[in-house]
Amino acid sequence: MTTRLRFLVYYLVLAVLSVLIWTKHLADVLPSGLARQLGHNSEAYLLAFLLCAWIQWILPLSLRRRQSAAVAVMVGALSLILAIVLKETDIPITISTLNETFFALAFVLPYIHLRGRMPLAPVISAVVVIGLLAGHDTDIVVLGAEAWIVIVLVPLAFDVFDRRVLDNSAPVAHLRRLAWMAFLIVVLLLAEVLEGHLGHGHVEGIRDYIQRANEAFIALLLVHAFFAYWVPSTRPRPAPRG
């Protein structure tokens, strides 16, 4: 299969899957059990689609034209506005639920344009986690689980465990990447399997929060799989240099 065809298959599958979910026709083409399971993750498919496309085409283009900072500010603002519109407008739930995807992108897309961000990546993730724990009973934390977990995971994903997503000149680290992907899968599965069977109080709350944010884990798994294994020979994506 050629690289172009791989691109087409990946983006087409995510796009068709998303449209079928938004229009509530997924059960018409897939078995009901599978359709129900896939239908819960529309935010993950949209996030993976947009993030891969941005990293593959827009990020390198903005760097070559030396417009990275301007693009970062613009896309961050537009993502935030779209998130608010989706959240506050009276539209079908299958569409309005996508507000968390764009709240996450309002941080993630500007973040990947930052210069000299690598040393800050673990710090950013740690600060967000501390903030979530401190505000665990507030609406902004509880209702924004998917967006917040994306913001926690992205700095670690792209600047610690799999730097080649954003920079093909970074050292190859297969074991580190695979360990990270395995971690995402294990956490995702444990949160699902242990529902109602693990802990109480804060422990139960953390488990339930992770389960609510399962789309974040799925989306990042799709992004890692795309750039590392589905199209590993795609054009270089130079990271912003600080």
Report how many domains make up the chain: 1
Across 40-60, b (16+ Cβ under 10 Å) vs e yields ebbbbbbbbbbbbebbbebbb
Angle 85-106-142 from CA coordinates, rounded to 5°: 75
Confidence tier at 242 by pLDDT (50, 70, 90): very low
Please give the pLDDT value at position 219. Answer: 98
DSSP string, 184-235: HHHHHHHHHHTTTTS--THHHHHHHHHHHTHHHHHHHHHHHHIIIIISTTSP
Domain-located, residue 240: no
Domain-located, residue 236: no
Q: Is the pLDDT of residue 236 over 60?
A: no
Domain-located, residue 216: yes
Please give the pLDDT value at position 4. Answer: 87
Q: Where are the beta strands (DSSP E) in 54-95?
A: none
Domain extent, residue 224, equals: 3-230
Q: Is the pLDDT of residue 60 over 60?
A: yes
Confidence tier at 234 by pLDDT (50, 70, 90): low
Q: Is the pLDDT of residue 201 over 90?
A: no
Q: How do residues 118-162 score in pLDDT, each as one tens digit?
A: 999 999 999 999 999 999 889 999 999 999 999 999 999 999 999
